[in-house]
Amino acid sequence: MSDSLERLYLAVLAARDLDPATSRTARLFQRGPSQMAKKLAEEAIEVVIDAVNGDTEAVIRESADLLYNLTVLWASAGVRPEDVWREMTRREEMLGIAEKLPKSSMKLPKVASPSVAARRPIVAIEGRVARKRH
Ligand SMILES: N=c1c2ncn([C@@H]3O[C@H](COP(=O)(O)OP(=O)(O)OP(=O)(O)O)[C@@H](O)[C@H]3O)c2ncn1[C@@H]1O[C@H](COP(=O)(O)O)[C@@H](O)[C@H]1O
């Protein structure tokens, strides 16, 4: 999939300077990021509606339109596909690490509530072994 998106990204870059009268991509660049964002949002909504309606073929078609409009917005924002792949790899590696750790160690240390702290203060007395009061 990334190859297809990368080829599309290069085609979008190449189309940016074509005649807006004949190239939709050039027209989107001419109209600017707000129009690109509007089209991207429209496509996202179309994908959602078709998915909710169970129209698989339409989801496929609208997803291709969504990815096209996303690629145009990337180009306009100076984002390259490899920038996105790098972030996705970072998350995969981070989550992958999380999957290897026992769930218990993933819990953040709880801050003792005042009642707990009051119940079991740990007193470190200089020069003596720290004692726990119960
Ligand atoms: N991959 C695409 C691509 N996918 C979708 N689309 C356009 O995006 C439209 C889908 O968005 P919409 O449903 O909003 O379009 P619409 O219903 O016609 O409504 P409007 O946007 O016209 O108002 C499709 O009808 C296509 O015209 C694309 N237009 C171009 N490309 C590629 O982009 C490159 C540059 O092509 P040009 O823009 O034609 O130079 C080429 O590699 C093309 O293959």
The confidence band for 62, taking pLDDT boundaries of 50, 70 and 90, is very high
35 CA distance to ligand 1 centroid (A)? 13
Q: What is the pLDDT of residues 103-131, one digit of tens each?
A: 665 554 455 545 544 544 444 444 444 45
Q: What is the pLDDT of residues 64-74, one digit of tens each?
A: 999 999 999 99
Can you tell me the distance from the alpha carbon of 66 to that of 64, in angstroms, rounded to the nearest whole number?
Answer: 5
The confidence band for 10, taking pLDDT boundaries of 50, 70 and 90, is very high
Residue nearest to atom 33 of ligand 1 (CA): 12
66 CA distance to ligand 1 centroid (A)? 10
Can you tell me the distance from the alpha carbon of 77 to that of 74, in angstroms, rounded to the nearest whole number?
Answer: 5
Give pLDDT, residue 130.
Answer: 46
Give pLDDT, residue 96.
Answer: 72
Give pLDDT, residue 128.
Answer: 47
What is the value of ipTM here, to two decimals?
0.90
Among residues 5, 19, 113, the alpha carbon closest in space to that of 69 is found at 5
32 CA distance to ligand 1 centroid (A)? 15
Q: What is the mean pLDDT of residues 24-33?
A: 98
Q: What is the mean pLDDT of residues 54-77?
A: 98
Give pLDDT, residue 95.
Answer: 81
Cβ contacts of 106 within 8 Å, gap of 6 or more: 98
